Structure 1
């Protein structure tokens, strides 16, 4: 990732993170749809297709772009229109399914899960080396609460194509939580197995810390006395060790190079502040240069406001 100078920049939500080409596309899509032109769909599809064709075999970047575009387009029919027009286009099929998953997360389920599964399998047949059809299918499986043997079957297909796919690991982590289809023990086993063999700067490097933040949030959600002492979570051995490992390397220039690195640095800044390790958080905020991700900041309120307040506290050291 391109590291920013310590100069203060405007704090802003940026789902594209530091992917400038993706950011330009999102702005262009917004401007194009506002024109109301008859050819709007054609123009948007052409722009999306062009971006997804760039570095098409960079699976990490491709998965990031698919995820961001799916969230951005989830309230529109654009992805559906593209898939309908080009039923043999793997990118169109995957984006359509991923968009359905993003929409389904807000609705509590999918409107046409079987159609989404079929689209994923067709995309996988068209582009057999591409992991993103299987990542999209994992999203369907998670949302539809498939049984674990089925989910792990999809999971293995992803690993065979992209060993450290960040989006896939995030989906599996959430699927294995007690809030979804697993247990705390399964989460711990999943994280331990990953840490034992994963390179420290792999695209999925944030999974261990993500698991700790999810557990921290679960404690906060219980309310009462547990919520009042939730900060103690970060002094426990496993949580402190996970935070130590992330704080030691992530903010070093050039250490994290994957597409979601800025999101992981937001996670690190948040966790350091939650643990009251403000001096360590300061350089992380400087590296971020004001780029904010909605999660995990939105847990306590408006993410931009929460980020700004935490950044000021880190800078003041109080």
Structure 2
């Protein structure tokens, strides 16, 4: 990862400094899939990058027929994965909007995921796409020992993914989101699951950020004192431990992990750890993500506020 200077404008594109991915996104928007094939095909052996790139490309292709055309013309594992990703996003969007087509789109998505898994058995990404669909249903599978709330959920599917890749980032985030209140879960269950999953990950893993994600999800702006939660010793020490154990490794990342950095910077700032927050904000600039800032107001305004507090230039300045 190579840091770039801040020139007065935030860059919100999820590809960040992955130039190949950014170019492929442009090609997808133009209705061409060859570059998408190339950037997904080169990720064999890097399941995290494969998941990241395929999800971003799918979000670009979701409103077009590119995925359908691609798999019809060139039925490769990459085309099957893109189709599974696109079909899953469409099913989730339809369910969130209470669209009458939601059930049919979910069936299409599940079939696409099965096809993609069959074409690339060692790739956990199609299974992760299926896990994303889990929030559309209620599961009765019991949690393993060690969770105080013993939350039921799609544990079998999650465990299957872990057998392929024990610390798959997106799988953990998808699984955690199943327990969010807005998906029918509860604050206590989400905190319990986040803490359980984070503790089983290595100290230098980005999965250590899961409790911070759950904390943002539980935030209620209507409660004035909720902003003080991050100042509590438990959450302050969590943020500082991540800063000490994970953040030093970010410089070695192939591409900037913008969302993870944003969650860490936000938590440190809220915990009054301005020095550390400043370092994290510098590491992610000029790139920006909507979360976690959008949970507290307009994202650009919240990011500018954070940078201003840390003595950094904001959008429109240099």
Q: Same fold (TM over 0.5)?
A: yes
Change (3 A) 1:251 1:195: closer
Deviation at 1:122, TM superposition (A): 1.8
Gaps of 5+ in 1: 34-40
Q: SS where residue 122 of structure 2 aligns?
A: coil
Equivalent of 1:309 in 281, 305, 310: 305
Q: For residue 80 of structure 2, what is the aligned residue in structure 1?
A: 93
Q: Does the aligned pair in 1 maintain the 2:113–2:129 contact within 8 Å?
A: yes
2: CA distance, partners of 1:229 / 1:213: 14
Equivalent of 1:58 in 19, 26, 46: 46
Q: Does the aligned pair in 2 maintain the 1:60–1:203 contact within 8 Å?
A: no
**Bigger mean CA offset, 282-291 vs 267-276:** 267-276
Equivalent of 1:263 in 259, 265, 269: 259
2: CA distance, partners of 1:270 / 1:257: 20
Which is helix-richer, 1 or 2?
Answer: 1
Q: TM-score, normalised by structure 2?
A: 0.83
Highest RCO, 1 vs 2 (Cα 8 Å, sep ≥ 6) = 1
- Matched ranges for 1:144-163 at <5 A: 144-149=136-141, 151-163=154-166
Gaps of 5+ in 2: 142-152, 314-318
Q: For residue 248 of structure 2, what is the aligned residue in structure 1?
A: 252
RMSD: 2.5
2: CA distance, partners of 1:148 / 1:85: 41
Deviation at 1:89, TM superposition (A): 2.7
Q: Does the aligned pair in 2 maintain the 1:8–1:286 contact within 8 Å?
A: no
2: CA distance, partners of 1:260 / 1:290: 10
Change (3 A) 1:69 1:316: closer
Q: SS where residue 208 of structure 2 aligns?
A: coil
Q: For residue 38 of structure 1, what is the aligned residue in structure 2?
A: none
Aligned length: 296
Q: Does the aligned pair in 1 maintain the 2:278–2:310 contact within 8 Å?
A: yes
Give yes or no for the alignment of 1:286 onto 2:278.
no
Deviation at 1:259, TM superposition (A): 5.6
Change (3 A) 1:286 1:244: same
Deviation at 1:294, TM superposition (A): 1.5
- After TM superposition, which residue ranges in structure 1, 4 or more long, deviate above 4 angstroms? 5-9, 253-256
Q: For residue 47 of structure 1, what is the aligned residue in structure 2?
A: 35
